[in-house]
Structures are given as C-alpha cells and as structure tokens.
Amino acid sequence: MAESPATTTFYLIISITERFFGCISLEKELSKLIQMIKDPVLRSKTREFLEKPRFKVKEIKGKVGIAFKESPASRTHHHAYEKGLVQHTIAVTKLALNLCDIIEDVYGGNPNRDIVIAGSLLHDIMKAPVYDVKEYGGYRLSSLGERLDHLTLTIAELYRRKFPLEVIHVVAAHHGAHGPISPKTLEALIVHWADYADSQINFEILDAARFLIKDATGEEIKKLTSEQAFEIVHAKAKKGREGVRQAWKKLKQK
C-alpha cells in the first residue's frame, strides 16, 4: 500500500534533518550564519552577543544558568537535551532563510535577510541562563529563571546592547499569539513560523521515538537526543519492533 503524503513528508523531514546535523560542526555552522549578515555593525553585535551572552545579576551570586553552547532549548518539550539550543538556533535560522527564498521567488516579496538572520540567531539566546542541570539529570529553572523568563531577558539585553528596533521586534514577537506581541513585520512573521516549525518537528520526532521504545521494550524514556530519536524511527521503518529493540540496546551501550 502506498504511503500517505503526510507519512512521506514526515520521513523526508527526518532524512534532511539527520543528514544536516549528522555532518556539521554546530559552532562552524553558527559562525557561517553570522557571516551572512551583510550589515557590518549588526553582524558584529550579533557575533558579540552569541560569543559573550553572559551578564551579571548582582542579587544572584555565582554562575547563572548553563553555557549557551551546552544548553537545552527547553526543559521537557523540544530540544530538551545538551546542545539542543544551538541545534534549534541553527535550524530556525536555516528554515527562516528558506522561507525568505520562497517569499522572494514565489510571491515577489522582499524580506530583510539581515533582520531575519539576526532575529533567528538571537531569539532564544537567554534560555541558557534561565535553566540549570538537575543533580540526577534533566533540567530545571535556575534562580534567575524562577524570577524572569527568557524572552523578557532577551528583549532587555537587546535593548541594552542597542540592537535595531526591527530585530528586537522579531525576538519579542517570535511566540506569535502566545507572546507579548504578535508579528507586525514580514521578518517577524518569518521567524515566528520557522521557530514554530522546528520546535514542533523536533518534539514530534522525540515523542514518536519514546513511544516506539516503550511499545517495543516497555521502557519509559525521558531523556533522548534527536540523533537517538532518528535512529529509533529508522530502525522501526526497516525492521519493525525488533529493529527498535536492537537499536535501543546499542544506543544504551554507547
């Protein structure tokens, strides 16, 4: 029986994402994307923020949160694993640039790519200081995260660092109707949908892999990376439940 279009699309997304993240250095890819910003001042500001996102909070002693390049993108939802935030940041930026291509080539629009790239790269940067690692694995809110959310912190820091208003709006509006303000520019709309698409794709793949593992082995899995999830999904497609059992056994031994 032929696969449905939805099933075909699902496996196409997995294939593309697996090839992309399986063969690149995340830091090199991040640097390439920064370099695509044509405006030298905006490029410099964006690079500096990504390389030095730390700031001091006088009421909180010691280290605040997790390093950006080690942080998850959420505690339990999408990209909830080490380096998930960098993966998400790169994926959102590349999705946003592909949307720019479509808008230009198909609809004749003219999005400002500098604003799109800067907004995409920085939209979640302050998630790192609002998370901490639990003693026995997993993530929780840091002492700062219990008082201020990542979006408030990012907007404040962008303003303090004198970023253009258009970039600040992209970040402020990237949660769409669920954020403090909805997108009012084309660039903000592009980043909003790129962020939503990547977070949902990652969540669905992780959720599918957890279900397949439980169905095949009876194990309840909380911590799983996207790479592991792809292996599980492919194993199910090739060898069914037995493939999942074999793949999960190998992954646990690594």
Residue 73 lies inside a defined structural domain of this protein:
yes
Structure tokens, 205: 């793949």
User: Is the predicted pLDDT of residue 65 greater than 80, yes or no?
Assistant: no
Beta bridge partners of 131: 141
Instruction: Please return the burial class of 8, using the count of CB atoms within 10 Å of its CB with bins 0-12, 13-18 and 19+.
Output: exposed
Per-residue pLDDT of 191-206, as tens digits, reads: 999 999 998 988 888 8
The torsion of the CA quartet 51, 92, 104, 113, rounded to 10 degrees, works out to: -10
Which domain does 82 fall in, by range?
A: 18-195
> Quick one: pLDDT at residue 99?
97
> Quick one: pLDDT at residue 62?
61
CATH number of domain containing 55? 1.10.3210
User: Is the predicted pLDDT of residue 253 greater than 60, yes or no?
Assistant: yes
User: Is the predicted pLDDT of residue 162 greater than 90, yes or no?
Assistant: yes
Per-residue pLDDT of 89-98, as tens digits, reads: 999 999 999 9
Residue 36 lies inside a defined structural domain of this protein:
yes
Residue 202 lies inside a defined structural domain of this protein:
no
Residue 160 lies inside a defined structural domain of this protein:
yes
Q: Count other C-beta atoms under 10 Å from residue 44's C-beta.
A: 12
Residue 90 lies inside a defined structural domain of this protein:
yes
Residue 243 lies inside a defined structural domain of this protein:
no
Per-residue pLDDT of 141-158, as tens digits, reads: 777 877 888 899 999 999
CA distance 82 to 163: 28
Residue 161 lies inside a defined structural domain of this protein:
yes
Per-residue pLDDT of 165-192, as tens digits, reads: 999 999 999 988 888 899 999 999 999 9
Give, in degrees to the nearest 5, the angle at Cα 149 between 158 and 141: 130
> Quick one: pLDDT at residue 83?
85
Residue 218 lies inside a defined structural domain of this protein:
no
Mean pLDDT for the chain overall: 84
pTM of structure: 0.81
Phi, psi of 141 (to 5 degrees): -70, 140
Instruction: Please return the burial class of 217, using the count of CB atoms within 10 Å of its CB with bins 0-12, 13-18 and 19+.
Output: middle
For the chain, what is the domain count? 1
Per-residue pLDDT of 20-31, as tens digits, reads: 444 358 788 999
